[in-house]
Amino acid sequence: MSRFRRIAANPHGRDLAVGDIHGHFQRLQQVLDEVGFNPAHDRLFSVGDLVDRGPCSQQALEWLEQPWFHAVQGNHEALAISHRYGGRVDLDMYRSAGGGWFIDLPEAQQQPFVEAFLQMPIALEVQTAAGLVGLLHADSPYHDWALLRASLLEDDDPDVREVCQWSRRRLREGDSSSVAGLRALLVGHTPLLEVKVLGNVWHLDTGGWSRGRFSLLDLATLALVNPAPDAATPHLPAASASPPMPAPARAAPGRSGAVPDDCQ
């Protein structure tokens, strides 16, 4: 597993980012269709939590195989890994958080998911014409992206990983400090009514997997390509460096079990 991944600029199309998916790949596909996403030229970046809660978690494998789809590892992928390899996981909590589909799979069918999740980086950075954009699931434990990059490349510190995948401190405290070395840091983890920007950290989970909607952010312009009706453009504070497909194939039963009818 590479805990940190660098991705070159996309000279041919758009780079879009989305918040937590949580097993609602069909709903996300509809939004991509609405904005004219072209998998031959465009790329989609995910802040993690591909699985649990929704009906189509099995499709995570198919999406992860697509060359245009890139995702960091969220806390729900981390839970699956810990459960499979005997880590300490509160099974009642895990099941209540939507992990029952994975818990109930035979071990042989759990393994392909865990192997795929292990290949997901904790953090990634994408080059754009206007500068680097970083992605994590929850938050950065450092105020400088270079420090996080070095930490993840050199060591696997569980305290660093915990902040990257679980922290809600920034939102809880309203911390508007920026992460140096980035034009923007994109995160999810906490569902919000609308995209929220604190410093140069963009919180993209607007509950597309629940009663909200998926918000797609263009990495080149830092503008939403599908803003909510009558919604104002999220304000980007001056502290930031810049102002304001075909559906994946059905999962093979031998790899991930039966696919629900509404996921085909």
At 1-55, the pLDDT tens digits run: 689 999 999 999 999 999 999 999 999 999 999 999 999 999 999 999 999 999 9
Count of alpha carbons within 13 angstroms of residue 53, beta-carbon side: 17
- What are the residues whose beta carbons fall under 8 Å from the beta carbon of 143, sequence distance 6 or more? 177, 178, 179, 180
Residue 217: which of 239, 199, 233, 193 has the closest Cα?
Answer: 233
| Catalytically annotated residue among 22, 24, 70, 76 | 76
The pLDDT, as a whole number, for residue 16 is 98
Average pLDDT over residues 204-212: 93
pLDDT at 86: 80
Q: What is the pLDDT of residues 127-175, one digit of tens each?
A: 999 999 999 999 999 999 999 999 999 988 999 999 999 999 999 999 9
- Ordered structural domains, the chain, with CATH: 4-263 (3.60.21.10)
Q: State the average pLDDT for the chain.
A: 89
Q: Is 83 helix (H, G, I), strand (E, B) or coil?
A: helix
Element (DSSP H or E) covering residue 62: helix 60-64
Is residue 185 a contact partner of residue 179, using CB atoms and an 8 Å limit? yes
For this structure, is 76 an active site residue? yes
As a whole number, mean pLDDT of residues 91-113 equals 95
